[in-house]
A and B are shown apart, each in its own frame.
Chain A
Amino acid sequence: MAHITINFKSKVLAMPVMLDVLLPETCKECKTLYLLHGDGGDRESFLLRTRIAEYVEGKQIAVVMPSGNNKFFVNNVNGKAYQDFVVKELIAQMETWFGVSRKPEDRFIAGAGTAGFGALLAAVDYPDMYHTAFAYNGLLYLTYLLDTLPDEQIAPVFGTKAQALKVCMDMLGKLDLSKTRKGTKFLIADNDNGFMHYKDWSYLDTWVQKTIEYIAAGGDVAWQ
Chain B
Amino acid sequence: MAVMNVNVFSESLGHNMDVTVVLPDEITPGEKLTCVWLYHGGSGDHTEWLYHTPLVDYVNERYFAAVLPGVHESCFVDMNIGNRYGTYVAKELPEMIWKLFSCISHKREDNYVSGLSNGGYGCLHTALMYPEYYSKVGAFSAGDKADSDFPNDGGAKSLARIRLYGDGDLHQNEYGLTYLADQLIHKNVEKPVIYHACGGKDPWLHMNHIVRDYFLSHVEYDYTYDEIAEYGHEWPFWDVELKKFLDFAGLVKK
Inter-chain contact B2/A6, CB cutoff 8 Å: yes
Note all chain B residues with C-beta closer than 8 A to A7.
2-4
Number of residue pairs spanning A and B whose beta carbons lie under 8 angstroms apart: 60
Which of the residues A6, A26, A96 comes within 8 Å of B3, measured between beta carbons? A6
Q: Is A200 an interface residue (CB 8 A)?
A: no
Q: A23-B100, A25-B96, A27-B99 are in contact. Are A96 and B29 (CB under 8 A)?
A: yes
Note all chain B residues with C-beta closer than 8 A to A3.
6-7
Inter-chain contact A9/B1, CB cutoff 8 Å: yes
B5 to chain A, nearest CB (A): 4
**Interface-centre pick from A1, A7, A92, A93 (highest chain B CB count, 10 A):** A7
Q: A95-B29, A96-B27, A96-B29 are in contact. Are A4 and B7 (CB under 8 A)?
A: yes
Inter-chain contact A25/B103, CB cutoff 8 Å: no
Q: Which residue of A lies closest to B8 (CB)?
A: A2
Inter-chain contact A97/B6, CB cutoff 8 Å: no
Interface size on A, residues (CB 8 A): 20
Note all chain A residues with C-beta closer than 8 A to B230.
none
The CA of A93 and the CA of B1, in the complex, are separated in Å by 12
Q: A9-B25, A25-B96 are in contact. Are A98 and B102 (CB under 8 A)?
A: yes
**Interface-centre pick from A4, A9, A23, A26 (highest chain B CB count, 10 A):** A4
Note all chain B residues with C-beta closer than 8 A to A92.
29
B 83-125 to A, binary, CB cutoff 8 A, 1 in contact else 0: 0000000000000100111110000000000000000000000
Q: Which residue of A lies closest to B2 (CB)?
A: A8
Of the A-B pairs whose beta carbons lie under 8 Å apart in the complex, a sample of 6, sorted by A's number, is A3-B7, A6-B5, A25-B8, A98-B102, A98-B103, A99-B100
**Chain A residues packing against B (C-beta within 8 Å):** 1-9, 23, 25-27, 92-93, 95-99
